[in-house]
Amino acid sequence: MATAPTGPAQYLARFSEQTIPCSPYVVAKLGIDKSRCSLKIEDYVILCVPFQIGFKRSIFMASLSAQELGFFQKYVNAGIGLSIAFNPNKRPEPVKFFVRCNLLTIGQMKGRDNVGLFVLELKSCPDQMVIMMGNFLENQDRLRVQFDDYGKTGIKMTPETAKLMGYNMYSTIAGPAPATAEPRRIQIFNLSSKLVEHLEAAGAPLRPVGATVAYQFFFQKYRISTTGVIEESVTLPQGMVRTKSTLGFSPELVEIIDDYWFNSRKPPVL
């Protein structure tokens, strides 16, 4: 009878084909030290930042002119070195890795002058790096389960609730473009991991049902950027606009709601 893999092997068995987009949330959770991230190509050292990271393939961004990008094209398919540092547990010093890679492609980032993308194939991923990324992905799977669970119950946004959630009582909505492209302030009165209901000042435009909009929610822990799809948008008798939207998965929001439900069930400190 075969035994289940353990340690780094268990994460490679589950996640080896996955890549992780390096949003500010991901960079913070993995503790990636951008000041210690570089590529070594022969005698050249190129400072870079992660765009996507994975167990087998990663993409890094670097500030390079068109001429420099052209120069480094000759190293495509050559072996290079990646230096990167992780610190997910907030230790005094990050864990530094040097990973041998093959340079698969180099190209200019679309819409960004003087920014190049380096696509790397990792020859092997250090065990400790595998464990750190595996732990992160495992936690994301847990948050996705909680996303479904916490989507079933709305939280009425009172001043007391906002204080407990660390909500700064400030959020915005933008879209769909072009008519409503500029962010407008909203007042949230009901929130779950999957739904938000809010008010806008009199004169705000009604957004069409099914339209995709962009939200920003300002919490003390995170400034959350996420998308929503309009379910309902109506003008109230007082002239204010009430809108209800379904929300996409936001790990930051799920974390905050998880903390809220945990803290709200704790007995008061006497």
Q: Tens-digit pLDDT profile for the chain (270 aa)? A: 455 566 899 999 999 999 999 999 999 999 999 999 999 999 999 999 999 999 999 999 999 999 999 999 999 999 999 999 999 988 889 999 999 999 999 999 988 889 999 999 999 999 999 999 999 999 999 999 999 999 999 999 999 999 999 999 999 999 987 767 889 999 999 999 999 999 999 989 999 999 999 999 999 999 999 999 999 999 999 999 999 999 999 999 999 999 999 988 754 443
The C-alpha atoms of residue 181 and residue 90 are separated, in whole angstroms, by 38
Tokens 């001043």: give the residue.
159
Q: Are 114 and 66 in contact (CB under 8 A)?
A: yes
Q: Which of 219, 211, 212, 209 is nearest to 188 (CA)?
A: 219
pLDDT confidence of residue 43: 95
Query: Is the CB of residue 120 less than 8 Å from the CB of residue 75?
Result: no
Q: Which domains are present in the chain?
A: 10-146 (2.40.10.220), 152-264 (2.40.10.220)
DSSP state of 208: P
pTM of the model: 0.87
**Of 6, 28, 23, 96, which Cα lies nearest the Cα of 249?**
23
Output the pLDDT for position 90: 86
